[in-house]
Amino acid sequence: AYQRNASAQSANWPRRYAAEDVTISVQVERDASYKATLQLLGFVTQKETAVGVLQGHTVQLSQGAASGKTVYTQVIDDLGNFVFSTLSPAEYTLELQLPTGIVVIDQLSLTMPE
C-alpha cells in the first residue's frame, strides 16, 4: 500500500497515515542531543493484531535518488514504536516491512518545528 503526496498534508505534527488495516502515527521533534537535527518518532498499529506481533519488523527511512540514496534502518519495538535520530531537514520516504506487506509513505517532508 502506498501513501502518496504526504507533503501535501499540513506542516503540522503529529501526522497519521492509514493503509488498509495499518495505522502509522509520526511525530517530528528537535533531536535532544543535536539541536540542529531532527528525530522522527513513529507508532504502528494493525487492526485485530497484538502490538507485539509487529516487534522486530524493519522500518526504513530513505533520502535522495536511487543512485545516491541514504537509507536509515530501525526495527519496531515491543510497543509498536520506532525512532530515527540525527536527521537533517529534507524530504524522505518511509517504508515499513510488515507481516502483511510493505507500507510506503512517499514525500515525507521533515522540517524544523517552530
- pLDDT, tens only, 41-100: 999 999 988 888 999 999 999 997 666 688 999 999 999 999 999 999 999 999 999 988
Is pLDDT above 60 for 39? Answer: yes
Place of cell 502483511: 100
Question: Per-domain residue ranges for the chain?
Answer: 2-110
pTM value is: 0.83
Query: Per CATH, is 2-110 categorized as 1.10.20?
Result: no
Is pLDDT above 70 for 1? Answer: no
Between residues 74 and 10, which one has the greater pLDDT? 74
Is pLDDT above 50 for 8? Answer: no
Contacts of residue 43, Cβ cutoff 8 Å, sequence gap at least 6: 24, 25, 26, 80, 81
